[in-house]
Amino acid sequence: MRIEKILNNNVITVIDEHKKELVIMGRGIAYQKKTGHTVDEEKIEKIFTLENQGLSDKLKTLLSEIPIEHMQVSEKIINYAKLNLGKILHDSIYVSLTDHINFAIERYYKGIDIKNALLWDIKRFYAEEFEIGLEALKILHKEFGIRLPEDEAGQIALHLVNAEMNEDIGNTVDITKIMHDILSIVKKHFKFEYDEKSLHYFRFITHLKFFGQRLVNETNITNTDNTLFAMVKEQYTEAFACVERIKVYIEKTYNRELTNEEMLYLTIHVERVINQK
């Protein structure tokens, strides 16, 4: 392989035999090298192949500006997440999480502490991702001797959720707020406490996550079965009354009207989480 472009002493790009651009990272890989020189393969530590050109450009810009150690620790956290979550993470995680970790380290040394207003919800809604976030804090302490607050574990968890859902951080924050608000409406309507260890609560949370994603992306489930909708409306009157309150909230807050199909599934989930059936 021959060097196509030198981004800094530790990062280069090459064009492979399939005419695809690869971003290659390695300590000192570009030392005393020029464009067109052969790559010292013994110094290669990581090869990035990103299909999305825009994402590839962002990664190149990021890697040219940050210490190689920050990219290395980010990759370690991403690999740990992939292994332990068992979920597909979009390639955007290499840009978003690396950028966040670099910024978090910089803020630590400047004594800047930013509180995570969503921390409590993140712990509830994204428990697995939050555990990865806590492990990430341990990795950062081991690598750099720094102790970041629990708020940062929550931020790392959000970036993982982003990558799972292929959303940007702003949308994930909005989705989390939607989940929080709907859970609060149901809780107040029925005046009860959730059993957060129950399977029905887990299913409700999962449904709300994707419901929120459809809402922020302005997509709907198509109406398909009005007979079933009518039956559920009649059979689960209290759950449906609660969902009508959710409908009003959605209309007032997001200027969106829920379809019968969305109301159908929300009613079923509310009924199950309330009665544990």
pLDDT in tens, 116-159: 888 999 999 999 999 999 999 999 999 999 999 999 999 999 99
Residue 239: which of 203, 275, 205, 215 has the closest Cα? 275
Residue 179 is part of which domain span?
A: 171-275
Residue 227 to residue 240: CA distance in whole angstroms = 15
Number of folded domains that form the chain = 3
Based on the fold, state whether residues 189 and 235 are members of the same structural domain: yes
Read off the tokens for 211. 């419901």
pLDDT score, position 218? 84
Residue 263: which of 211, 213, 200 has the closest Cα? 211
Based on the fold, state whether residues 157 and 203 are members of the same structural domain: no
Last residue of a domain, one of 166, 185, 203: 166
Average pLDDT, the chain: 90
Based on the fold, state whether residues 21 and 95 are members of the same structural domain: no
Based on the fold, state whether residues 185 and 263 are members of the same structural domain: yes
pLDDT band at residue 39 under the 50/70/90 scheme:
confident
pLDDT score, position 228? 84
Phi and psi at residue 228, to the nearest 5°: -65, -40
pLDDT score, position 270? 95
Residue 58 lies in a domain: no
pLDDT in tens, 163-190: 998 888 889 999 999 999 999 999 999 9
Residue 154 lies in a domain: yes
pLDDT in tens, 183-237: 999 999 999 999 888 888 988 998 999 999 999 988 766 666 678 888 999 999 9
- Name 39's Cβ contacts closer than 8 Å, sequence gap at least 6: 1, 2, 3, 12, 14, 24, 29
